[in-house]
Chain A
């Protein structure tokens, strides 16, 4: 089972790659979308700026959106989750528009949100066996889905509840970094790999 770890050309892919490999997956780092969609799953990592990552998406977003709508497994982390939405206040460029909603600047006295924050999780296979979850965040923007049903986990920052995780079909987005959230985070990654294995 080979997973595509998408390379936008900036930032740390190494620890996420190792976490996926630790869960038994073979990881292919690529910036080639058609190649990525020919493998077993797509991982959108959480590093860099929205504009730069949006520029790394193919001009025509439809093939990716249709693949994800059709159940192609995908995990988006932080910025990677934000790419599932339509657009972002951070910079120009369209997202994949898989999840209706927008990405907004965190309006708080201290931004970025930097550190460990409690995550209230719904009953979803991605969180199986994770236990009480405290996730590591490093974000200045949050996702605001139009439909509550798309959100499967919540956190609170400066008295505002926001989407910690979303799900559509076999696409999961995490605003925190599971690959940086110690043992519970590694369990989430292992659950994703197990889900992909169950589908392929």
Chain B
């Protein structure tokens, strides 16, 4: 039985994990290598690094962080943020990332999805979509949620799959940071419309929200960030609640 996944996202800037709102007021909260390991021990099913420095500053340190992480992390690692061309994918995979997520670059140059999947396999190409409910559509945004496009999230997700993406990381801009639950309608519409796994993102506040993402939203995975980093809950606690409700998440395995 395939287990619904609980994925932990860490925002990384200049080699450190940071916390803030909408890319502003960033505070240093620790070493990504150490935090990723701790989340694996707590039962996280995957780790995502979102390099928030990528588009603006130098990103050479990211490869080093990925390399050091892969030395001690034995669950999948996805790296996103600032992957601009297909040539950026190889070095990240070689450094130890299992999957690469692309957002702005896929909108600007959709071939990055087809080239990436042909070269490395679709299982390592994640299309990241940031969408907001606007004008009767799910409007996609690029550049960390700051620039609107004319793309509709449902159609764009289907196009990303056709181009070769193996998974959709779907973030609701409206719900991001609100901790009042994932955008279930958006999640479900995309999940029902693409034949690849969908990761619900944006809005996790408590275990019930993950349950809704899996049950009502038909998500294959749920992304969690702020509530863990703020110490409001733990991966173990989320998974215990989900298990009690009959959601077959992977039990925490110890060595």
Chain A residues at the B interface, C-beta cutoff of 8 Å: 10-15, 18-19, 47-49, 52, 79, 109-118, 131-132, 134, 136-140, 156-157, 177, 179-187
Contacts and interface: CB of A to CB of B under 8 A. Distances in A.
A139 B67 CA distance: 24
| A-B pairs with lowest CB-CB distance, top 4 | A183-B255, A14-B96, A138-B123, A116-B3
Interface stretch (B48-56, B113-121, B141-149): B113-121
A19 B255 CA distance: 14
Nearest to B250: A116
A156 B166 contact: no
Contacts of B45: 115-116
Contacts of B67: 14
Contacts of A183: 74, 253-255
B14 interface: no
Given A14-B67, A47-B121, A180-B76, A116 B93 contact: no
Nearest to B126: A114
Contacts of B76: 136, 138, 177, 180
Given A179-B74, A180-B98, A113 B2 contact: yes
B121 A182 contact: no
Contacts of B119: 10, 48-49, 52
7 contacts: A48-B119, A48-B121, A115-B3, A156-B1, A177-B76, A182-B75, A182-B253
A117 B1 CA distance: 5
B70 interface: yes
Interface string B33-54: 0000000100001000000000
The DSSP consensus for interface residues of chain A is mixed
A177 to B, nearest CB: 8
A167 to B, nearest CB: 23
Interface in B58-110: 67, 70-77, 90, 93-99
Given A118-B1, A138-B124, A184-B253, A13 B197 contact: no
A131 B251 CA distance: 13
Contacts of A48: 119-121
Contacts of A110: 195-197, 220
Nearest to A14: B96
Given A79-B121, A116-B45, A138-B166, 15 more contacts: A11-B94, A11-B120, A13-B94, A18-B71, A18-B72, A47-B121, A112-B196, A116-B3, A116-B250, A134-B3, A138-B123, A179-B74, A180-B75, A181-B74, A186-B255
A118 B166 CA distance: 21
A114 B167 contact: yes
B166 A114 contact: yes
A49 B115 CA distance: 12
A186 B94 contact: no
A157 B93 contact: no
B5 interface: yes
B118 A49 contact: yes
B46 to A, nearest CB: 8
A109 B38 CA distance: 34
